[in-house]
Structure 1
Amino acid sequence: MLDGVSQDADVPWHFLFCQRTRLKDNWDAGRFTHFQLPHPDHAAEAHTGAMYAIQQHGRRLVSGGADGTVRRWDLDSQRLTGRALRGHHGRVYALHFDGRKDIIVSGSSSAEVFVWRFSSGEPLQAIPHAHDSAVVSLHFSGGALATGSMDDHVKVWKQCPSVQAVHSSADSSRYGTLVEASTLKGHVGGVTAVYVHEDTIVSSSGDSCVKVWSIDTEECLRTFSNPEHVASVHVDGQKISKGAPQLIQIIDHTSGETVATLCKTSQTLRTAYAKLENGRCVALVSGSLEG
């Protein structure tokens, strides 16, 4: 199951087998809880079309869908929080939810980017023509927003502190307007995923490449080629985990070495998130089209 793991790797096979067996036994015996949003008693709170993106922070979750809305959920009550957030003129494909800064960033098929206050639902900023085509990926970290589009480009937006924030820097709820800083060109396919990590951005594309970019110099530092397109990327330290059809690869983006190949599936792997400690993958969450 773990192709590419070195022979002397410390893999807890017994623990993995016990957990897998326990999960299977619970499932076969019906010992599980069916959880859904919204609660079945409040079906009218649901999106009116397909749901394309979700982001969670603590006991709160944000979703975006084909109905053009962004919705906020309470995981304890399984209920919609406040009203649905409306403003996009197309399907909401991409989300970033920062619970600490109390903001949601959303991108849509109509090439728009919106920034919302999570707690109140108020729109903080609208960027109507962020790209020349649909915005399908975005990530916000450290005052920088990366957006990926079907126009093959990655754009970098930097947060300019508001006047209020300058005088009240301890208040993380203050919002500074996002201003376009640069356009990163090099992909020849739609940019399916982006991730901001310190002074770099990692992007994946339908051109079957993963690229690492310098935010400061705007140059492409490294390119990883794949036999098929990549649907998702996540960065933890020096490790990139990327989801491609039927497998996840973990790569050291400094050396370019493939650390591990994991989780082969029978159908396309759509998303992956990895947590690494001391260079080891200690937790992995993935989802594929096989359900």
Structure 2
Amino acid sequence: MLIDKRGTLKIMAADAPVKAVAFSPDGRRIVSGSRDSTLRLWDARTGQPIAEPLRGHTGSVFSVAFNPDGSRIVSGSMDRTLRLWDAKTGHPITEPLCGHESAVTSVTFSPDGSRIISGSRDNTLRLWNANTGQAIGEPLRGHANIVTSVAFSSDGSRIVSSSGDNTLRLWYANTGQPLGEPLRGHEGRVWSVAFSPDSSRIVSGSDDSTLRLWPGPKVWPDELCKKLTRNMSRKEWRKWVSPDIPYVEQCPGLPIPSDESQPQARATL
């Protein structure tokens, strides 16, 4: 550990480049992943290593993350696997999580800690059970180049990913299905994405030297209402939504068109 002229704490981590770092939820520990295939835990206050390196990967560790309660760590590696670790002992919890066909570039836990999402150079994302290490469903396919970054929304219902194909994609976390079309606008690889804490916005960073802000799914109805001049009529609601669901004002404050026709009374036997 060194203190430089600016008072910055410098942790001498390893002889190999450090590829990934993350704080524990309580801010007391740091985990790092290195090109030497190991992870290390550090005391965030003193910069001292905690126990021995975490060994198990056979390639560079590209991404690391703590689960929400700080008890587990997930790592993604050049060796095409993810690994789960006990954050207290540093011991592996399960066998390596295998399924990707190329390097695992990004990993993170869902907000409730029950699932993991990973992105890979094989152009796919995968969902995993964080307790058993088992894959959930089929790979999430849609990107045309490597997946560089992944993130969950704050409620865990959506996933956002970025790619070397210059786009972002949104996914339903429960089904793995894509949500809408790719988000286009960057003119270079998109390297990193994140949801805002309330999931109302998404930020992305790209090779084109720009960041872009995007409305998150949570505010899509509001964004749509800004472009509309009226609500659906009750007749339209019955036709396009359902005659069995009570009418809901879609855009509060906008007019509801007059609808003289009423639902036909249902015949009774």
What TM-score do you get using the length of structure 2 for normalisation? Answer: 0.72
DSSP 3-state at the match of 2:175: coil
Q: What residue in structure 2 maps to residue 158 of structure 1?
A: 129
Q: Following the alignment from structure 2 to structure 1, what is the Cα–Cα distance between the partners of residues 101 and 87?
A: 27
User: Among residues 175, 178, 184, which one is paired with 2:140 in the alignment?
Assistant: 184
Q: What residue in structure 2 maps to residue 199 of structure 1?
A: 157
RMSD: 1.9
Q: Which has the higher contact order (CA 8 A, sep 6+)?
A: 1
Q: Following the alignment from structure 2 to structure 1, what is the Cα–Cα distance between the partners of residues 177 and 210?
A: 29
Q: Which amino acid in 2 is paired with 1:227?
A: E
User: Among residues 35, 48, 51, which one is paired with 2:15 in the alignment?
Assistant: 48
User: Among residues 54, 59, 62, which one is paired with 2:31 in the alignment?
Assistant: 62
Higher strand share: 1
Q: Aligned pair count? A: 205
Q: Following the alignment from structure 2 to structure 1, what is the Cα–Cα distance between the partners of residues 34 and 68?
A: 20
Q: Following the alignment from structure 1 to structure 2, what is the Cα–Cα distance between the partners of residues 227 and 87?
A: 38
Deviates more, 1:229-238 or 1:65-74: 229-238
Whether the 8 Å CA contact 2:68–2:109 is kept in 1: the answer is no
Whether the 8 Å CA contact 1:187–1:205 is kept in 2: the answer is yes
Cα 1:115–1:224, aligned 2, differ >3 Å: closer, same or farther? same
State yes or no: 1:234 paired with 2:203. no
Whether the 8 Å CA contact 2:62–2:106 is kept in 1: the answer is yes
1:53-92 matches, within 5 Å, as 53-57=20-24, 58-92=27-61
Q: What residue in structure 2 maps to residue 5 of structure 1?
A: none
Q: Following the alignment from structure 2 to structure 1, what is the Cα–Cα distance between the partners of residues 103 and 90?
A: 23
Q: Following the alignment from structure 2 to structure 1, what is the Cα–Cα distance between the partners of residues 30 and 68?
A: 10
1:130-279 matches, within 5 Å, as 130-141=99-110, 142=112, 143-159=114-130, 176-182=131-137, 183-197=139-153, 198-222=156-180, 223-225=182-184, 226-236=186-196, 237-245=199-207, 246-254=209-217, 255=220
Q: Following the alignment from structure 1 to structure 2, what is the Cα–Cα distance between the partners of residues 214 and 157?
A: 14
Encode CA deviations 1:240-272: one digit per residue, 9 max, x unaligned.
111113222221033497xxxxxxxxxxxxxxx
DSSP 3-state at the match of 1:177: coil
1:25-36 matches, within 5 Å, as 32-36=6-10
TM-aligned CA deviation for residue 128 of structure 1? 5.1
Whether the 8 Å CA contact 1:205–1:231 is kept in 2: the answer is yes
DSSP 3-state at the match of 2:190: coil
Q: Following the alignment from structure 1 to structure 2, what is the Cα–Cα distance between the partners of residues 188 and 100?
A: 35
Q: Following the alignment from structure 1 to structure 2, what is the Cα–Cα distance between the partners of residues 138 and 156?
A: 10
Whether the 8 Å CA contact 1:212–1:220 is kept in 2: the answer is yes
State yes or no: 1:111 paired with 2:111. no
Cα 1:32–1:126, aligned 2, differ >3 Å: closer, same or farther? same
Structure number, greater radius of gyration:
2
Whether the 8 Å CA contact 1:52–1:94 is kept in 2: the answer is yes
TM-aligned CA deviation for residue 107 of structure 1? 0.7
Q: Following the alignment from structure 1 to structure 2, what is the Cα–Cα distance between the partners of residues 35 and 76?
A: 9
Encode CA deviations 1:229-248: one digit per residue, 9 max, x unaligned.
11101112121111113222
Unpaired stretches in structure 1, ≥5 consecutive residues: 1-29, 39-45, 160-175, 258-291
